[in-house]
């Protein structure tokens, strides 16, 4: 297959591009290379003759149209997005521009291409479980959960989902929507909880935790997510939506303490790393709990996460230990995250 991948130099995107190449696909990777995207994430994929990279803003409709006309993809894997809740609270406009306007440009261009060519085609749109809002102590998100976004980021992704869905309902455009739980793994930008905690702990900096750290997230190892995306891309029926998660619910404070325990063994400091934990004022509209029911994708596509959290977090910490020097040199303004 020939796959046009958006956001393929980001965290999830770079892992997905490498998987597509491993499957023998030809990939046109388009990425704006904003602060969280880097060609370093792609490693040896940059030398693969089946990998083509274009630095382009997904909001640039004329350039996007030219790429569709020249590359003639069999599918689109749309992963480009602004994704950090804190940043969306501080500056919502860029989230609307990229996640809503950019998604419409990609969707409309892909629709025009598909409608003109009448070829076997599919459009996979990657989204988040945050579009569903927050859960209490019990229950799970499913594909039938009503949308109730609580942050500008979640609202922008909910808007993008509804745009994509409308093209299926109105035009029978062969789109599929994927709502993913929290991802973690190598290459994640250090504004997010897990990499920020690892790097701050290694540098003996405070480990900021919102509120009391009792907010719960469902954690999915990025390689398992990519495995699910491949199954969806190759086997799912157009017009469907899939929730995908790791099935590992844990409080933010417990994630941070787990990382501290691993680092106490791998790279001990004068005092336990837990001593660096610092509680800070909770952020506005902070969702209490996310948990994802993956029954549909398990039953329809025979997908299930393979990586338990202990193995996944060990792999992740080892990677950040190896990359510590390079990542520690990132501008301080780009490492502003706290507990998710």
Nearest Cα neighbor of 275 from 203, 198, 207, 199 is 207
Number of Cβ within 10 Å of residue 140's Cβ equals 19
Catalytic residue among 31, 57, 129, 249: 129
Question: Distances in Å between the alpha carbon of 235 and those of 169, 182, 244, 306, 328?
Answer: 20, 23, 15, 19, 41
Tokens representing 194 are 């897990």
46 Cβ contact partners less than 8 Å away, ≥ 6 residues apart: 39, 53
Q: Is 279 a catalytic residue?
A: no
Residue the block writes with tokens 């994929």: 45
Is 130 in the active site?
yes
CB of 4 within 8 A of CB of 109? no
C-alpha span between 306 and 285 (Å, rounded)? 33
How far apart, in Å, are the Cα atoms of 246 and each of 22, 178, 223, 282, 303?
23, 14, 11, 25, 11
List the catalytic residue out of 31, 111, 113, 153. Answer: 153
Residue 129 catalytic?
Answer: yes
Q: How many residues does the chain have?
A: 340
* The one catalytic residue among 26, 31, 57, 130: 130
Q: Which residues are identified as catalytic?
A: 129-130, 153
């Amino acid at each position: 297959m020939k796959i046009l991948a958006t956001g393929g130099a980001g965290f999830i995107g770079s892992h997905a591009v490498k998987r597509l190449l491993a499957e023998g696909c030809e990939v046109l990777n388009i990425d704006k290379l904003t602060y969280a995207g880097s060609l370093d994430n792609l490693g040896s994929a940059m030398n693969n003759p089946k990998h083509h990279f274009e630095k382009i803003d997904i909001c640039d409709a004329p350039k996007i149209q030219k790429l569709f006309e020249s590359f003639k993809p069999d599918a689109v894997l749309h992963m480009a997005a602004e994704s950090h809740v804190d940043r969306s609270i501080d500056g919502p406009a860029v989230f609307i521009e990229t996640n809503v306007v950019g998604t419409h440009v990609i969707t409309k261009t892909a629709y025009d291409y598909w409608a003109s060519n009448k070829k076997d085609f599919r459009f996979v749109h990657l989204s988040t479980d945050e579009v569903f809002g927050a859960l209490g102590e019990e229950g799970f998100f499913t594909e039938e959960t009503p949308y109730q976004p609580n942050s500008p980021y979640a609202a922008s992704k909910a808007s993008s989902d509804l745009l994509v869905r409308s093209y299926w309902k109105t035009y029978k455009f062969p789109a599929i929507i994927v709502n993913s739980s929290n991802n973690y793994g190598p290459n994640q930008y250090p504004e997010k909880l897990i990499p920020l905690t690892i790097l701050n702990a290694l540098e003996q900096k405070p480990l900021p935790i919102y509120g009391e750290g009792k907010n719960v997230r469902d954690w999915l190892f990025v390689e398992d997510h990519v495995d699910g995306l491949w199954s969806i891309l190759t086997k799912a029926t157009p017009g469907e939506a899939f929730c995908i998660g790791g099935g590992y619910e844990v409080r933010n404070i417990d994630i941070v303490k787990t990382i501290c325990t691993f680092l106490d063994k791998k790279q001990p400091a004068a005092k336990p790393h837990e001593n660096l934990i610092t509680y800070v004022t909770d952020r506005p509209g902070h969702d209490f709990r996310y948990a994802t029911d993956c029954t549909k994708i398990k039953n329809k596509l025979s997908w299930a996460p393979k990586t338990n959290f202990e193995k996944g977090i060990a792999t992740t910490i080892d990677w950040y230990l190896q990359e510590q020097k390079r990542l520690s040199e990132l501008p301080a303004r780009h490492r502003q995250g706290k507990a998710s």
